[in-house]
Amino acid sequence: MKRWVTSHFQGQSVTEYLDEAALRRHRVHVMHKLPYPYDGTNPVLFNGSIYYHRAGTPKIAKYELYSKRYSEVLIHKRAAHRGTNYLFNLSLNYFDIAVDENALWVLFHYEDADFLSVAKVDIHNLTIYDTWNLTLINHTEVANGFVVCGVLYLITSSYELRSDISIAYDFYRGKYRKPNIEWINLYRNSNMVSYNPYDKRIYIYDHGYLLTLPAYITWRAK
């Protein structure tokens, strides 16, 4: 299975490897140049396209690596996207992009708001289906998040060895819950956490180490 890697925090390229063994040996297959640079540690690669925060704008970009087609969507003109107005605690991200079995999900916050907001986006044409303002969740009190089967899970800390998934939100039931799932930051710097709906695994970039674990999450909002 192919692997793709982007640089930390800012860049304008994606490195493609033929498989995980090639990645470990640093045997680059293709270097893809993006039409515009990205910000943050959470670009997502899905079905041959990369989705990323276009640096300096409140927009999410889609670039098809092989056809080289580019498109973008304005999440909201007041979405925080520059300066030190970051999305999470101890983070250099303005947006967090997630994909699950249903859609593309964009986590963000408004420039003048403390609560977390999430946009559900069509993964093919970037149409925004809906936006949730999660007023019970302060975006500075969580460190990262991912979406599995329409449920958002938020991690309290990316730096403490023992942390937890402290709060979750089911978009389809409109329910908050506290699942209290233990979360281990093995190397105490989990900058990127992302769910892959193809293999049902969670991928983590933790202090230079690439980790993966099965998404054995059975909690659902009632």
**Which residue positions in the chain have pLDDT lower than 70?**
218-222
Beta bridge partners of 27: none
Q: Residue holding tokens 């079995």?
A: 101
pLDDT for 7 equals 86
* Residue 203 CB contacts under 8 Å (≥ 6 apart), including other chains: 192, 193, 194, 195, 196, 210, 211, 212
Question: In this structure, which CATH number among 1.20.120, 2.120.10, 1.10.3470, 1.10.1510 belongs to the domain 3-214?
Answer: 2.120.10
DSSP 8-state class, residue 66: T
Residues 44 and 33: beta-carbon distance below 8 Å: no
Residues 32 and 16: beta-carbon distance below 8 Å: yes
Beta bridge partners of 38: 11, 54
Which candidate, 112, 139, 118, 115, places its Cα nearest to that of 130?
118
Q: 49 in helix, strand or coil?
A: strand
pLDDT for 218 equals 61
pLDDT for 8 equals 77
63-72: per-residue pLDDT in tens? 999 999 999 9
Q: How many CA atoms, within 13 angstroms, populate the side-chain half-sphere of residue 130?
A: 9
pLDDT for 217 equals 72
Query: Which token pair is 18?
Result: 């033929």
Residues 145 and 158: beta-carbon distance below 8 Å: no
Domain range annotation of the chain: 3-214
